Structure 1
């Protein structure tokens, strides 16, 4: 990329990979990057206050702009837990949790991610905070700048104000964050991973990417096909889908989840919202339409709109554990009491160990939101570019889904007003010469649908697809372990043995 005073003016065109498998679209890195040594020390509270025994942390320096490696640098926070069976160690297994905008150093250091039992024994597990996230030069936005609209604008005047506020907010973030904001793209992160691979002393990159971490892995496949070792992509992002296509699929996936919820109510004989699946869907859609015309009042006096219903409903239908509490909350809301939905939200937070976030957790969440925009707005083309285009897009989405369409469309406002032009492209992943890749997905994944994994499976000639039956996001080494899934992935990571082209594991 070429950085000018106004941001990114263009991207270096990709070139074919060289004989060693590395893309030649960036200058050769100076030895001060490729030959640096990590000074491993005990992990401090800046990474995690509850590190597992033996966890170590350090720093790896990389250039902000790979087209100008002698310019500014950024330090990446990295963590490591060494292989339990050190005598039979296979190398490093690098992990990324996705987000985008989430750091991975803490996940490895505190044992939140430990891989499967066999892989954990044979690999050093390595986590890192991608550039501009968590401990790696966290990008930030100053307090006091205009916030996103709580409710999707409906008029051109409201949309124009939302665009002006968004542009002002984005420019403030750009000033506060510095040069790294223009280089948050996943291609740069993939290059960072290759520096990390070199510094760790591995001839090949062994990698497990979760959710948006699968997109980073795909960029590595394209850039360094000859350097790919064993790669697991779990909860797969489809790189051929642009931002609008992703948003439309999110809408469909949420609608499908509501339909499953309604079907489950009918199957259990619960007719409080309707006696058939279609009747329940009509009840919810009619309620959403009424909220458009006349919002209710929440306990704190604020308006409860269709957008609020979309938010609560979208969160509640992601997991079947929430369904039993969702029904009485919706029944109460239909009778004018929306406070039960607030309690449902608080209960979900408590279930996941969250509860009321601490000030530090609140700041971390806000920073991750900024980092997410920093990555997505560079990686993903095709966000609406004007207030009218956004209004038209939102109207089209609302026709597709009265429950989710308009709200999901307006989630593109950050990238619609981002001050730096996108450098990525929506295109299939091709990795000629790369080692085979293992793709993993749940059958029901509301965040990265199985359709994504199937699409990438078609794009990659040498890949296998492992499908775990059930609902969830991230099927390997999860909080709800699947012996079939974990053993199949570990067989690949440890012995290089891929399952059949497509294989299904029970929940």
Structure 2
């Protein structure tokens, strides 16, 4: 990290978190943003449905703008918005429309595709600053919904922001209302989640290629043009269609990656920017990504163990008295490796074995939650064999990952031998989880992809505005190490570290005013 990057720190009070959803990424823990539909996690659980939706059902409520010449944008024709069931229709203050952009930005006069856009205008026009473009992450989440429901009193944007800015969101190309990519879900479901041999490794590569090809067949040329460089050019087309010389930007999770790319391609068009739960802008490869995410999860469990050691009330039936949680985890892994760890039941251990991978999934969920009472209850039940444990299932990877994430960063691994060596090194660095289950799933989905990795664009000429990067110290999807590299990569960035477990921090009471103040006042 560049030592010149300014750092501020917050030590928030604990905030209750929703329970982790089986099969999903670890819950957001210290951030109540875990329950927010718009500000969602790096892996969009709902995105597979969005990607599989027929294109005909994905049209926005507003009329499409006339086809502009070349790559230029014409003004957006706004109309009423409709919510996707079970979500209700937004209020009349929400407007929806479409911006037409080239499918392939290297061919500006070629075929075009529609980008769905929504906005809520500033509620205090006399104090309006301009447009705040938002992206909730994913890849695969709906920015249209972020804007449509921006005034939700529970999980929307603050009154201060809505007074001063037009909140504008969009569905990235190939996502949701923006011409949803159509893939064969059955092809993705066949891919082994955790290869255990050289033969299974090759099967992963072959089936990944077949699944991605199904997207190209079902979607057409757009499936090969969903990389973030293309999305960022769409963002600037939206800016032009809005008639704005500059925009402010607030990106969450994967949206931070888009923000950094926008700052490289269009620095003159940025007023200011906040990157909440920041991705590494240029990871050096699969091993660094897997190590950063796994070490964060392992350290989160160490933090839980230390908290329990200092708190006599931090105990649960089934846990041996005086034994640290980390020592309990060591013993559970030893039993799982030996095939003697059993799933608990109401009256004692069942016959069903707990595999090391199942144990890793459970531990990642507990690490992402960050709550000692949940951890002790679950680990006590597993240790003693009596009680109930909520294991995470391995579902098929969201198709947005190979179509977007694997285009943006090179996570390819040479062969089975290199994969095993990386796994061993990551496990040694992160002994209390062995690996981050979400990161490993994402990495495996990139193997065998026929789509090329798009290079990070060169920094365009222009002075960057002040940028704020916000990250939890214990963020499993976007680790602090990557956020520090993000802040170091932007010369005008300040890093605000929050000493908590969590991911996507905007709704945290200690963080929201920090983000709001920067966006309104552009403070360094």
Q: Which residue of 2 aligns with 1:475?
A: 505
CA–CA distance in 1 between the matches of 2:483 and 2:107? 35
Which residue of 2 is the match for residue 251 of structure 1? 294
Deviation at 1:268, TM superposition (A): 1.5
Distance 1:382 1:429, change over 3 A: farther
1:133 alignment partner in structure 2:
175
Alignment partners' CA distance in 2, 1:433 and 1:53: 38
Residue of structure 1 equivalent to 2:137:
98
Give me the whole-angstrom Cα distance separating, in 2, the residues matched to 1:131 and 1:207. 18
String of CA shifts for 1:84-137, please: whole Å, max 9, x gaps: 002332221100011122121112212356433322101110111111112112
Q: 8 Å contact 1:397–1:409 — kept in the other structure?
A: no
**2:211 is the counterpart of 1:169:** yes
Q: Which residue of 2 aligns with 1:220?
A: 262
What is the match of residue 10 of structure 1? Answer: none
Query: Structure 1: how far apart are the matches of 2:430 and 2:191?
Result: 20
Of residues 486, 489, 493, the one that matches 2:512 is 486
Q: Secondary structure at the match of 2:186?
A: coil
Shift of 1:297: 5.3
1:280-320 deviations in Å (ceiling 9; x for gaps)? 32321231233233264588987531111211221222133
Root mean square deviation, CA, Å: 3.0
**Shift, 1:208, TM fit:** 0.6
Number of the residue aligned with 1:318:
368
> CA deviation digits over 1:17-36, x for unaligned, max 9?
xxxxxxxxxxxx96465342
Deviation larger for 380-389 or 196-205? 380-389
Q: Structure 1 residues 414, 91: CA separation in 2 closer, same or farther (over 3 Å shift)?
A: same
**1:395 offset after TM fit, Å?**
2.9
CA distance 1:128–1:394, shift in 2 (3 Å): same
Given that 2:90 and 2:149 are in contact with CA atoms closer than 8 Å, whether structure 1 keeps it comes out as yes
> Aligned pair in 2 of structure 1 residues 240, 165: CA closer, same or farther (>3 Å)?
closer
Say whether residues 1:185 and 2:244 are aligned partners: no
1:45 CA displacement: 2.9
Secondary structure of 1:69's counterpart equals coil
Picking from 435, 450, 473, the partner of 1:419 is: 450
Shift of 1:202: 0.6
1:442–1:394 distance in 2 versus 1, CA, 3 Å: closer
Number of aligned pairs?
442
Deviations 1:438-469 (A, max 9, x none): 22223433332333333333322222233344
TM-superposition CA deviations, 1:468-499 (whole Å, max 9, x none): 443322333x1x323xx433433332233x14
Aligned-partner SS, 2:146:
helix
Task: Judge conservation of contact 1:442–1:470 (CA < 8 Å) in 2.
Answer: yes
Q: 1:404 aligns with which of 421, 424, 433?
A: 433
Higher relative contact order (CA 8 A, sep 6+): 2
TM-score (norm: length of structure 1): 0.79
Which residues in structure 2 correspond to 1:298-447 (within 5 Å)? 304-321=354-371, 323-336=372-385, 339-342=388-391, 369-405=398-434, 407=437, 408-409=439-440, 411-425=442-456, 433-447=463-477
User: Which blocks of at least 5 consecutive residues in structure 1 are unaligned?
Assistant: 1-28, 347-364, 500-507
How many Å separate the matches in 2 of 1:259 and 1:59? 48
1:36 corresponds to: 74
Match of 2:399, SS state, is helix
Residue 58, structure 1, aligned to residue 108, structure 2: no
Question: Quick one: structure 1 residues 457 and 161, their matched pair in 2 at CA, closer, same or farther if it must change by over 3 Å?
Answer: closer
Q: Check the 8 A contact 2:264/2:458 in 1, yes or no.
A: no
CA distance in structure 2 between the aligned counterparts of 1:394 and 1:140, rounded to whole angstroms: 33
Conserved 8 A contact 2:95-2:118? yes
Match of residue 110 from structure 2: 71
Higher alpha-carbon deviation: 34-43 or 72-81: 34-43
What is the distance in 2 between the residues matched to 1:64 and 1:298? 52
1:284 aligns with 2:329: yes
**Residue number in structure 1 paired with 2:484:** 454
Aligned partner of 2:4 in structure 1 is: none
- The answer on whether the counterparts of 2:119 and 2:148 sit within 8 Å (CA) in structure 1 is yes
> In structure 2, the residue corresponding to 1:237 is in which secondary structure?
coil
**TM-score, normalising length: structure 2:** 0.76
Alignment check: 8 A CA contact 2:267 2:464 kept: yes
Tell me the secondary structure at the aligned position of residue 113 of structure 2: strand
> Is the partner of 1:61 in helix, strand or coil?
strand
- 1:108 equivalent in alignment to 2:152: no
For residue 213 of structure 1, report the CA deviation from its aligned partner.
0.8
Question: CA 1:32/1:173 → structure 2, altered by over 3 Å: closer, same or farther?
Answer: closer
Return the alpha-carbon distance in structure 2 between the equivalents of residues 340 and 39 of structure 1. 52
> Does the 8 Å CA contact 2:70/2:108 hold for their aligned counterparts?
no
- Structure 2 unpaired stretches of 5+: 1-66
1:463 aligned partner: 493
Change (3 A) 1:338 1:182: farther
Distance 1:422 1:274, change over 3 A: farther
Indicate how the Cα distance of structure 1 residues 271 and 122 shifts in structure 2: closer, same or farther if over 3 A, else same.
Answer: closer
How many angstroms apart in 2 are the aligned matches of 1:81 and 1:329? 43
Q: Within 2, Cα distance between the matches of 1:431 and 1:302? A: 61
* Contact 1:429–1:456 under 8 Å retained in 2: no
Q: CA deviation at 1:338?
A: 7.5
